Structures are given as structure tokens and as C-alpha cells.
Amino acid sequence: MALELFEVLERKLDQVLTQYQNLQNENATLMKMLEEQEKALAETREALGKMNKERDMVRQRLDQLLNKLEALGKEK
């Protein structure tokens, strides 16, 4: 009887250890995916920042051109 209980305990412990190892592997995979997503997000934010700067520069240049055109219109 005692030997059977130890065998049951050993099987259950093996199951727990297997499940623990599987969870560790899954966690490592998820952490890697999270790291990749964070990197992609940082790259996207950087690209968005560049596009915003370019948009602001274009807006400034258009404003300058419109002001020049307006000044020409007032001269006539």
C-alpha cells in the first residue's frame, strides 16, 4: 500500500514538473514575442515622429509660400 502511494505521488510529481517545464517554455516564448512587439512599437513610434516632423516642415513651407502669394496679391 505505501509503495503504491509513493508511485502515485511520483507520477503526480512528474506531471507537475512536466507542466512546470511547459509553462516555463511558454513563458519564454511569450517574453520573446513581447520583446519583438515592443521593438516593433518603438520603430513605429520613431517612424511616426519622423513623419510628424516632415508634415510640420511641409506645413511651414506651404504657409511661407501662401504668405508670399498673399503679399504679391496685395502689391497689385
CA-to-CA distance for 23 and 30, rounded, in angstroms? 10
What pLDDT is attached to residue 66?
A: 94
Predicted TM-score (pTM) of this structure: 0.66
pLDDT in tens, the chain (76 residues): 888 999 999 999 999 999 999 999 999 999 999 999 999 999 999 999 999 999 999 999 999 999 999 988 887 6
- Quick one: three-class SS letters along 38-72? HHHHHHHHHHHHHHHHHHHHHHHHHHHHHHHHHHH
pLDDT of residue 63: 96
Distance, in Å, from the CA atom of 56 to the CA atom of 53, rounded to the nearest integer, reads 5
Q: In this predicted structure, what is the pLDDT of residue 76?
A: 61
Maximum separation of any 2 CA atoms in the chain, in Å: 111
